A and B are shown apart, each in its own frame.
Chain A
Amino acid sequence: MDLICIKLIAPFALKNISANGEITVPDGTRLRKLLRLAGVPLYGLVMPVVVNGKFESKSYRLQDGDLVVFVMPFRGG
């Protein structure tokens, strides 16, 4: 089974993640499953997510080297 490496940036603690925020999952893993594997808390599952800067649905099929980021509001001006 081929494995792919995904980087996750989240505002909460994750499981199965290396010190630099990476997780290795089987090729073909979809975003929904990744979030489960990484132990994303329930409220995190409804948060918007971007992959490589682009909004993707939870059925998005991940590619090796993808950067997955949870979107948070910004305060500033």
Chain B
Amino acid sequence: MIKSVVGKILFINLSDGSHWVEEVPVEVYQNYLSGLGLGVHTLYQHIPADADPFGEKNMLGFVGGVLTGTGAMFTGRFLVVGKSPITGGWGDANCGGNLAPLIKQSGYDGIFIEGIAKEPVYIRVHDGKVEILPADDLWGKDTIETEDTLIKRHGNRARVACIGPAGENMVRFAGISNHHGRMAGRSGLGAVMGSKKMKALVLEGKNKVAVQDRQTIQYWSKATSKLMPKGKSSIPPWVLLLMGRIMNLLPVNIRIDGLMSLPPFGEWGTNTANEMSIVTGDAPVRNWRGNPAMFPTKNVGASRISTYQRKKYHCSACPLGCGSVNEIKGRYKETHRAEYETVTAFGSNLLNKNLDSIFDINEHCNRMGLDSISTGAVIAFALDCYEQGLLPEELTAGLDLKWGNAEVIAPLVDMITHRQGLGNLLADGVYRAAKTLGEEAQKYAIHAGGQELPMHDPRMDPAYGVIYLADPTPGRHTITNTMEYEMFNLWTRVSWAPKPPQQYPKREKYENSEENATKNAAGAMYKAILDCAGLCLFGAHIGVDRSGIFEMLNAATGSELSPDEYMRIGQRVQDLRQWFNIRHGIEPAEVVINPLVSGQPPADKGPARGLSYDLDGMRRKYWQSMGWSEADGHPLRQPELWT
């Protein structure tokens, strides 16, 4: 058996109340590590091809990483996995907060739930023991009330993952919350949890994580901590904005070292990007069909957002601490600082300049248990359809669905949560809503494979377009892109990873080249390794040579694998995610994306003006680089499975 894993997974059937434990063959860890790899290896074999995402046969899994709990830095992430009700295929959602270490500490590498309970329940796992307990008193409560109630009931050492009313009502983009609103948001897995009538998972335990070579882990953790920013940033955010504007004007792409962006990121988190992303065209404006001139950036600037900050905080095992708790006005007193994605989804993409409303909606989404990316996106879709006269009158009565109207956005979030009126249509996502409204509405449905797109415009970086379209969970921004690939420094460890020049013409990003495809494939394989290890993507920005990820994986497990061999594991995990989709009837070549994001038709204003690229060709070359058929996207290697 390899070290740093428990070697066991727990299965719970909510239909009959049974549970059982299975030993995991060592080959599974050797070939898939743990975390995402363990999740996809388990679900590929346990979810039948015809399983309804909301049916008894779908399975929901909570998995921790190989490095989680070993003392390695940036390992506070866990994943929720299952068949997604928004894409109909492989679903996973990655999340920080305080839950991750408790998965292994409670006695298992993964906890997998199938069946449907007759009445609302929650599951308590403590030191390996399992209880299925009634949750009638919790059903209907928001995520924070639920977490507080369960912590009070089971003690301060307990950690809670739970759904809000959106998950209960099976809103197809509902998420799963922990740590007072940190959301495993994507893929709609909160709706799967709701379909099982499972309100929460409570974890307790003190199971120790054994490692092979603690000294090496400590060495790299110390080295990583030394690189973290110290003290407050003395850079006014306008300087970064100015630099962004200048970079936009340059004909060259500058390779950014992750250490360069760390100081502002440590202070403002993802909000560092708010203003710059608008002016550079990365952030969508007005449901992706607007331009930066329509939205004054100061409304959402980091300096303005900082005035709300009450305290900063760190996720488990994180030396950076990009999160903060902010004081807000209105129905709630505080919220996690809204991430860039949320600020943009409810800001520029809706032309909403009211920052108070964005924070209020952020907290409301967290409490209702909603993915704020998809929620903002479906509202943008609704405003566009309203303007075009595509919404039936009976659904819009009394609603002033004008761009930027904060007064109507907040109630819409509630209507979606409770599936009322127009909210019921939107609660199924833009793809399904557009199908109901008719062909013309498809133009305004910005999605890939059914999942609403995140807030990064691929017309400014086609790598996003390729990944949105070709990842087995379409519409995902946290796999890789040009900037992140360059931050990963993979070429310092991986023999075949291309090293980009320090500066190169921007037009090269738009070329359907083998090098671009190889970079995207390498980034995707590496991201799979991060998700198997339980690592944070932002931590990986410091570069693989400085974080010592491959060295720590060997030290934790006792393996002696080379970086190239770890990349093969990442590839194997991606292969199986792709096979999962194919098995469940999703042909990779039939996954579609709104053509607007590849510049079809080209924008006539703003930074994206006239930009387009051969997305289908780039997708096919990416498939090739992943070791998949260029013709149909099927992996050339058959699934490697152990039972």
Contact = CB atoms under 8 A, between A and B. Distances in A.
Interface of A: 9, 11-13, 43, 47-48, 50, 52-55, 67, 69-77
Nearest to B265: A74
Interface residues of B, number: 47
6 contacts: A11-B503, A72-B257, A73-B264, A75-B282, A77-B340, A77-B454
Interface of B: 226-231, 233-235, 239-241, 243-244, 246-247, 254-257, 259-265, 270, 272-273, 276-277, 280, 282, 339-341, 344, 454-456, 477, 481, 483-484, 502-503
Contacts of A11: 254-257, 260, 502-503
Contacts of A70: 260
Contacts of B455: 77
B273 A12 contact: no
B299 to A, nearest CB: 17
Given A12-B502, A47-B243, A76 B483 contact: yes
B273 A53 contact: no
Contact of A48 (B239, B262, B270): B239
A-B pairs, top 10 by smallest CB distance, nearest first, are A77-B340, A74-B261, A72-B260, A73-B240, A55-B234, A77-B341, A54-B230, A53-B229, A48-B235, A77-B270
Contacts of A71: 235, 240, 260-261, 263-264
Please classify the interface of chain A as helix (H, G, I), strand (E, B), loop, or mixed, using the class held by over half of its residues: loop
The winner among A47, A70, A77 for most chain B CB atoms within 10 A is A77
A12 B260 CA distance: 12
Contacts of B256: 11, 72, 74
A45 to B, nearest CB: 14
The winner among A11, A52, A74 for most chain B CB atoms within 10 A is A74
A72 B273 CA distance: 11
Given A67-B227, A74-B272, 19 more contacts: A11-B257, A12-B502, A43-B246, A53-B227, A54-B230, A54-B231, A67-B259, A69-B260, A69-B262, A71-B235, A72-B254, A72-B256, A72-B260, A73-B244, A73-B247, A73-B264, A74-B273, A77-B344, A77-B454
Nearest to A55: B234
B229 A50 contact: yes
A19 B226 CA distance: 22
Contact of A52 (B230, B257, B264, B282): B230
Nearest to A13: B502
Contact of B280 (A12, A13, A75): A75
Contact of B270 (A53, A72, A76): A76
Contacts of B228: 53
Contacts of A55: 231, 233-235, 263
A59 B241 CA distance: 25
The winner among B243, B277, B454 for most chain A CB atoms within 10 A is B243
A75 B502 contact: no
A55 B263 CA distance: 8
Nearest to A76: B273
A8 B597 CA distance: 38
